[in-house]
Amino acid sequence: MTKMLRALLASFGVLYATSTLCAASPTHNTGIVYCVNGEVNTFNPQLASGGVVIDTLSAQLYDRLLDVDPYTFRLIPALAKRWEIKDEGATFIFHLQSDVSFQHTQWFTPTRKMNADDVVFSFTRMFDKHHPWHQVNGGHYPYFDSLQFADSVQSVKKLDSHTVEIKLAHPDASFLWHMATHYAPILSAEYAQRLSQEHQQETLDRQPVGTGPYQLSEHRSGQFIRLQRNPFYWKGVPRLRQVVIDLGAGGTGRLSKLLTGECDVLAYPAASQLTILRDDPRLRMTLRPGMNMAFLAFNTRRPPLDNVNVRRALSLAINNERLMASIYYGTAETAASVLPRASWAYDNDSKVTEYAPEKAKQLLKQLNINDLHLKMLVPVASEPWNPSQLKTAELIQADLARIGVHVEIQPVEGRFQENQLMAMNHDLTLGGWSTDSNDPDSFFRPMLSCAAINSGTNYAHWCDEQFDNTLQLALRSQQLSGRIDYYRQAQQILAQQLPILPLASSLRLQAYRYDIKGLVLSPFGNSSFAGVYRDNSQGETP
């Protein structure tokens, strides 16, 4: 972490590794209200490409085979109590916990504990295109599709009731990290079987059944999601009876709710609000470096942006320092690579694209391009990588206007952005990526591989055979030094081709009421609320 970020954390009185919380009188007795801006189109993280489902809900509803320690950044056991690696990294054997219960919901009561059948079902549904559940609710699994796991996973086999073997076509040094992401939940095979018998397969992804600390109780689209604690949670009964995810307010509306006590936790506050949050004695904050990246993506399939020199000219016109000052207020680092600086594969020789508007004008003139009109798709929701995307778009619009390029901003929400991106009628889009993995592959392939075009996560629609081959060589390397060398080559290709312009790697911010304790903010995504509680809350006991 840089000196600038350390100084910032110190100025807010926030510890780098954990939040400082104070005792105070309770405001609610049974739970907390967590405010976040976003939409929920499915409750199954397998089908999601980010957003509230991944950043907030997955850790409450589901568990994975492995987890990531938010402080050491190491893989730790979860539903798999231990694992083995064989065949030089092409075969993985997972030994499962033996006493894990699935949630007892209004729509399903399990008759057995979690076992190997559930793990096999969860992964064969995604990886086996001929599996009867693969096409249910669309057959698209954006994260794993972008990694081409359906092609690389040869078999998912039950060895006994609590042992599962996964064989790959070739060694993959990143595989375990992908198993630890929120995109890899363990579902109930018994629940799926019952839904098949009732011909209601689509219900699996709308009415979730997992092994997580909280279970779905109520959902009102665009308003809120109510979770109630899972009394059978295998790690111990969660301390709060309920968690309400408030989806209904954005921007200053969420801040007002936090200040009045309607919200207990505010996810992704705008950096411009930090002074208010810092100076209010009723509030506390956590700031941590995040594994995320904000970027501007060029539609490389659409002229004239299919010309790398045009992309370079537009990049030279963008004043990144102004973005840092106006959007992030010192809570982000200017990005020089698609990887954040915290990544072990970050290329220290990477250079931030210079701000040179006169050079940009000259380059466009040499290309005989004038009176250029572009459309930019801009998500309206705040995200971990960018708290104010519309304002960012307006600043970029103004920068490009100075070199004679006219940009029309088209605000979009949720799945509408994904639909328009796949239609390829845009020229530019503001995007970002956040991962709950410490492996660089979780940035490169989902964002920019050829396969990620069809999975909907490659916003640039850019496909480069040399780049893809370099990533494959990195995965098959048995030495960390070898992987670092290949990822350095990959970053150099991106710097030369500029399918996206990295803008910022942001701190993760979270604000909360003074009486909330046990809240952990991870650089890899949101953590379980199982250990969260209020001081003197009457709702702490089961």
Give the per-residue SS3 of 100-159: CCCCCCCCCCCCCCCCHHHHHHHHHHHHCCCCCCCCHHHCCCHHHHHCCHHHHEEEEEEE
Give 21's pLDDT tier (boundaries 50, 70, 90). Answer: very low
Chain segment 504-529, per-residue pLDDT in tens = 998 888 899 999 999 988 777 668 99
Chain segment 176-226, per-residue pLDDT in tens = 999 999 999 999 999 999 999 999 999 999 999 999 999 999 999 989 999
Quick check: 4 pLDDT over 60? no
- CATH fold, domain 292-507, is Dipeptide-binding Protein; domain 3 (3.10.105)
Give 14's pLDDT tier (boundaries 50, 70, 90). Answer: very low
Residue ranges of E strands in 18-122: 31-35, 66-68, 75-77, 80-86, 91-96
Contacts of 122 (CB under 8 A, 6+ apart): 46, 184, 185, 186, 187, 189
Chain segment 289-339, per-residue pLDDT in tens = 888 999 999 999 999 999 999 999 999 999 999 999 999 988 898 999 999
Residues of the chain above pLDDT 70, percent: 90
Give the residue with greater pLDDT, 14 vs 33. 33
Q: How large is the average pLDDT for residues 63-89?
A: 93
| Poorest-pLDDT segment among 187-191, 272-276, 438-442 | 272-276
The pairing of strands 265-267 and 31-35 is parallel
Helix/strand/coil percentages in the chain, nearest 5: 35, 25, 45
Q: How large is the average pLDDT for residues 86-94?
A: 96
For the ranges 127-131, 256-260, 411-415, the one whose mean pLDDT is highest:
127-131
For the chain, what is the radius of gyration of the CA atoms? Answer: 23
Length in residues, the chain: 542
404, two tokens: 């004679």
